[in-house]
Amino acid sequence: MVVGVLAGAEDDEHIEMVRADFAAIGEVLGRAGAHTWAEPELTGAQYAEFAGWGYSGLHTVRRLAVHLAVDGRLPEPLAEARRATDDPLLNEVYETLPGDSPGPFDHLVHHSDCEGYYVPVDFARVLVDEKAPGGYLGSSVRLLAETRRLAEALGLPEDLDPDSRKVFAAADAREPAARGWQRYGVESYVCLQLLRAAKQSIATGAAITFC
């Protein structure tokens, strides 16, 4: 995940492609009746990258979110040989589009894991549009609120540094801890990264780019 993608772009072709994406996003926001938005010109110092524990890490967080939404509680930690995408409930949610009434974690769950954007504009429903890069456009304002809700359920202090030894040890553990957020080490690591990315997006006015 990147915030300030234009500030980190290294060639004109990439810049042109990203600007075309942002123009398409402006059209998607307009059709939805959302507030207008334009990517600001950030300095290199404002450019930021946020790791996600590979593509699989994001799915582990989404697995927690869909169980919390449906069951009102977190599921058991994943067994070592299991993948989050093996979870039947997560797959069921992935196979459906966001409803007319937004769910508690729609912006977190309904988004590509490898492309697309979140913009710092507050809109309730995830925007599903074939013109949107990645097919979905999320709100980083809503992403922050949803990720905070998940962090609260985990008992995860949002000011923890995801790159700290404590967090990384929990994420890299072969067996989950007995209690606390450390039971969900990878999920907590990714949750903290999402929190940081959403805050950076809102603070700078720049989009979160999945790449």
What pLDDT score does 174 carry?
A: 87
What pLDDT score does 138 carry?
A: 98
What pLDDT score does 79 carry?
A: 84
Radius of gyration of the chain (CA): 17
What pLDDT score does 134 carry?
A: 95
Query: Which residues does 177 contact at the CB level (< 8 Å), separation at least 6?
Result: 170, 183, 185
The CA distances from residue 103 to 112, 125, 142, 186, 209, in Å, are 17, 9, 11, 24, 23
What pLDDT score does 8 carry?
A: 92
What pLDDT score does 101 carry?
A: 86
- Ranges of the chain with pLDDT below 50: none
What pLDDT score does 99 carry?
A: 83
Sign of CA dihedral 193, 178, 82, 67: negative
